[in-house]
A and B are shown apart, each in its own frame.
Chain A
Amino acid sequence: MDISSWDGTISLAEFHVAARALVEKWKRVSSASPPWSWVSCPKQPWVASHEVSVEGYLSLENIILVSIKEEHDELLSFPQKEETSCSDKEESIDIATLSQSDRDEICYYDLHIVYSASYRVPVLYFRVYYSDGEPLEFEDIKKHLPAHSAKTLLDSKWTFITQEEHPYLKRPWYKLHPCGTGEWMKLLFQGDVSLARNGAAIEVYLISWLSFVGQVVGLRIPYEMLNQL
């Protein structure tokens, strides 16, 4: 297995394999957290029902990422808010008292992982909204982002996080620009000797990618996810 000649990118088929691996491992490792799920999408609005090759994306929705603005910007992921249960409502009130962000309101994230045919890497799309569903203004999102992300935004306003049309939902979503992904994925894998030796490298591709990219929005990956199979 020759990592040195690999450019850090993956094919669509490999993305599907990696996505399945992420979903399964996440479910196993953090059963308390909301699960990543695969959302299938037909390629065209008129596609026949016997359509075999269907595209799709990974979805993690309705999660609360609470930022505790200490020196290290530790971020925790909380279970999703359930509207049916009264006890959960009380739980979300408890979460609110922990938050030291500027606004009193809790905000929710939807995270989607979509494959880019152009860059041949996964891309993170996300949405942030209040409990009534109203989306946050970009200025307010910035306040909720970890400090290092906010700074990067200042340096590269138009090229780091952009607002673009979600490839499947056709609505404006925020997107993390995939330009450098291939390069740092290659570095990530090169730097980890055990990864290079392990034949299941593609299965951990997305998990590794997410551990990196999730930091931008403050998603913490449970440590067990990163352990080798």
Chain B
Amino acid sequence: MMEAQKYVWEGAIPLQIHLHESEVTTLPPPLPALILAPRIGYLPLLIPHIKPHFNSTLPPGVDTVWFEYKGLPLKWYIPTGVLFDLLCVEPERPWNLTVHFRGYPGNILIPCEGEDSVKWSFINSLKEASYIINGNCKNVMNMSQPDQVELWHSVFNGNLEAYLKVSSKLKLGTAGHEYSANLNSGSFVSRQSTGDTDATGQVKTGRVPVRLYVWGVSEDFDDLEDAPQIDSWDKISYINRPVEIHGEEGKCFTLLDAVKSLLPEHFQYKSLTNEESSKEEGEDEQKVPSEEGGENLSEDVESCYPSDNAEVKLVRIQGIEPKLEIPFSWVVHNLMNPEHFLHICVCLKVSQVKIPSDG
């Protein structure tokens, strides 16, 4: 089980970073910078490595660094690997990005003051994950200063061993069989308090931190390279909602179940489970991997035809497209990011795509 986590932490995206032409003041213009960006990292953390490359050609002024892909300003608080999986449907290697040192689009992007901003965005996400899993943020808030530093450094440096050592103290548990089917949608006063049950504040709540990035297409495509380009964040629906696991006896809660539960308007949650969804003809039947191994992960995506008119074209996590029948608990434990969120990129084919007007 450790293997998958290791691959995730070692995963990196080769970037070719071009300085925006408006900021080139010397001839000949500088060559693009080539850098390997950790999947679980964030773009602003690369700036100290990139800046020296372009320093001599920048116009005078204060640095306000931001990145852009084909005109789309990149949200710096989204892990690099997720940005790549989402925006580069047909993976581009190296990934060609443009860097700006001036003219920060403050009306679109939240300001970034370098490593500190990234660190606190990470910690706040970790707190949110902790709240979702345990019902409180105590364990993160009570982290000692050295532990906090150690945690951040382990993420910054991509050091999985160091990360596991310090993050185990947070008792953030793993999804799946540990969760009790204790959820109800009763009135708010009948809900049990999820306050401390033991010294560590650990409570089983059956909620899993997930961030879903969904984009819809109206035309079908068979090859990824035919997929339409995402040219605006308005085309992506960002769903930051925990997955609630209902522990049903004898049934395995799969990745598909999780995705469907977050998109109820497209997938009516009936008694039909994934084994009854139709499969495309001619597709190879691959063995569903056991809980233990992760070796049978497949690149094939199954098309699912739910009751509504939406069809799941693509589910991508950490650069792979897992079989949708894989137990969700395995996916979470092995493919989650260091802040304990599982980031899932989903492409849905819908019958009609409304072009959003600018709000």
Residues of A with Cβ closer than 8 Å to B?
1-7, 9-11, 13-14, 43-48, 51-53, 117-119, 158-159, 162-165, 167, 169-172, 177, 179, 183, 186, 201-202
Contact = CB atoms under 8 A, between A and B. Distances in A.
B109 A46 contact: no
Contacts of A43: 237, 239, 265
A52 B308 CA distance: 13
19 contacts: A5-B192, A6-B191, A6-B193, A7-B191, A7-B193, A7-B195, A13-B185, A44-B237, A45-B355, A46-B216, A48-B351, A118-B132, A118-B209, A119-B128, A170-B233, A171-B108, A172-B111, A179-B131, A202-B187
Given A44-B237, A45-B216, A117-B241, A11 B193 contact: no
A11 B108 CA distance: 30
B240 interface: yes
Given A45-B216, A158-B123, 11 more contacts: A1-B189, A4-B193, A44-B216, A46-B352, A117-B240, A118-B241, A158-B116, A159-B120, A162-B124, A170-B233, A179-B127
Interface of B: 75, 106-111, 116, 120, 123-124, 127-128, 131-132, 135-137, 141, 185, 187-195, 209, 214, 216, 218, 233-235, 237-242, 264-265, 350-356, 359
Contacts of A179: 127, 131, 137, 141
Given A3-B189, A46-B216, A118-B241, A164 B110 contact: yes
B265 A46 contact: no
Closest 9 CB pairs of A and B: A158-B120, A46-B216, A117-B241, A44-B237, A45-B356, A46-B353, A7-B193, A172-B110, A6-B189
Contacts of A3: 189
Nearest to A119: B131
Identify the interface centre among A3, A117, A167, A177: most chain B CB within 10 Å of its CB. Answer: A117
Main secondary structure of the interface of A (DSSP, over half): loop
Contacts of A162: 120, 124
Contacts of B264: 53
Contact of B353 (A45, A164, A183, A186): A45
Nearest to B355: A45
Contact of B193 (A5, A47, A201): A5
Contacts of B234: 45, 170
Given A47-B265, A172-B109, A11 B185 contact: yes
A118 to B, nearest CB: 5
A101 to B, nearest CB: 23
A165 B75 CA distance: 10
A45 B235 contact: yes
B131 A118 contact: yes
Contacts of A202: 187-188
Contacts of B110: 163-165, 172
Identify the interface centre among A13, A51, A119: most chain B CB within 10 Å of its CB. Answer: A119
A103 B124 CA distance: 33
Nearest to B132: A118
A17 to B, nearest CB: 10
Identify the interface centre among A3, A162, A169, A186: most chain B CB within 10 Å of its CB. Answer: A162
